[in-house]
Amino acid sequence: MARSLRALRGALRRLASETTGDPRSSPASVPKPDRQKAISTLNALARAWPELRWPADGPISRVYRGDGGEARLAVQVIARQAVELLTGPDRDHLRPCLAPNCLLFFADSHARREWCSPVCGNRARVARHYRRHHTSGVPLR
């Protein structure tokens, strides 16, 4: 299962990076599969399908079905939702986090949003403050 999750993470990073025109450079420690391999990985893992549930005495709901157990289904649902995000209207809201050393992406809720979380926003502000007040050429980490 861990191998599937790592493959999914790599594929999603690659496809999200290309979708967003990610300006960040990837660290050498982060493998970047080629686009076709990333697409194939995502498609192979997106094997969940929605089913309608409507009990006589309850509300309508959607559940997902897939091959294998619950852990495998969770990976399949994540992959399916990623396909829906990358092919749907929300794709235009996908952004890379611009905080130092962050590899995450997020769906922006505001056109000026630059960071995936308040923690990353604070990290970016601290780095900017440091650069402004320390001109000794010490590299940021």
Distance CA 117, CA 123 (A): 10
Give the pLDDT of residue 52: 96
Joined tokens for residue 67: 């091959």
Give the pLDDT of residue 71: 92
Q: Is the pLDDT of residue 28 over 60?
A: no
Joined tokens for residue 3: 């191998």
Joined tokens for residue 63: 């559940």
* Sole residue written with tokens 């493959």: 7
73: number of CA atoms within 13 Å, CB side?
Answer: 10
Q: Is the pLDDT of residue 39 over 60?
A: yes
CA geometry: angle at 71 spanning 65 and 104, to 5°? 105
